[in-house]
Amino acid sequence: MKTEAKVTPEQMRTVMEILAATYRGRGAVELGEPYRVLVSTVISQRTREEQTAAVSRRVLAHYPDVASLAVADEQALLGLLAGSEYREAKAPRLVAMAKILLEKYGGRIPDDIDALLALPGIGRKTANCVLIYAFNREAICVDTHLHKIANRLGWVTTKTPEQTEKALKILMPRDLWAGSNRLFLQHGRAVCLSGAPPLCSRCPVRPWCVYGQEPTARKR
């Protein structure tokens, strides 16, 4: 992992301001109730946003709090999770997670990264998202979009989202951390695609992008 990126905090701010204007402020952090944020974030793992919203509504209607999820029937939960990827793994993990939350925290969701990471099925991306969207904490939630785009922009040279998180925490002004996930998610879906070449000719931040300046890079 290299962190000696040539990007300056001012350039990062410029890029993110342009993205915020392009996606009409969709980088704004909207806070939610911690239990709902936690369950929705687990459901969102490797799952499209539209599916996540529908499945989360269904699951949370049946299990509105930690106590009800802790005694959930796993087969019933599995059915409610239809549409969420890897639901066979998520169903038992959600129940196990709720049991721990009940026994260890009295049903409260901890606002501590280590405590969250100790829960079943919770990795750094999920834990950081919960810290941001449930507790308004300074954290960077690095998903595949943020990881890929930060590398294309030349902000970092990293191989994993974990390395990207670590590098961005050194480089990025703290007030930009929380909003970065939503902004790059929007940009990754609309322009800086993951499963196809990025649409650099339509990109509003191309002048600041290392990949976008490469003549031999695949662009369309």
Chain contacts with ligand SF4 (rule: CB under 6 A): 149, 152-153, 191-192, 198-200, 203, 205-206, 209, 211-212
In whole angstroms, the minimum distance from the beta carbon of 40 to ligand SF4 comes to 28
From residue 81, how far is each of 24, 87, 95, 217 by CA, in Å?
31, 6, 13, 40
Tell me which long-range contacts 157-166 makes (C-beta under 8 A, separation of at least 24): 157/1, 157/2, 157/5, 158/1, 158/2, 159/1, 161/124, 161/125, 162/124, 163/1, 165/124, 165/128, 165/140, 166/1, 166/3
Q: Which is nearer to ligand SF4, 36 or 219 (CB)?
A: 219
Q: Which is nearer to ligand SF4, 37 or 200 (CB)?
A: 200
Closest chain position to ligand SF4 (CB):
212
Measured from the CB of residue 162, what is the shortest distance to ligand SF4 in angstroms? 21
Beta carbon nearer to ligand SF4, 131 or 183: 183
Other Cβ atoms closer than 10 A to 173: 11
Rank residues 156 and 203 by Cβ distance to ligand SF4 and give the closer one. Answer: 203
Quote the least distance from Cβ 200 to ligand SF4, whole Å: 3
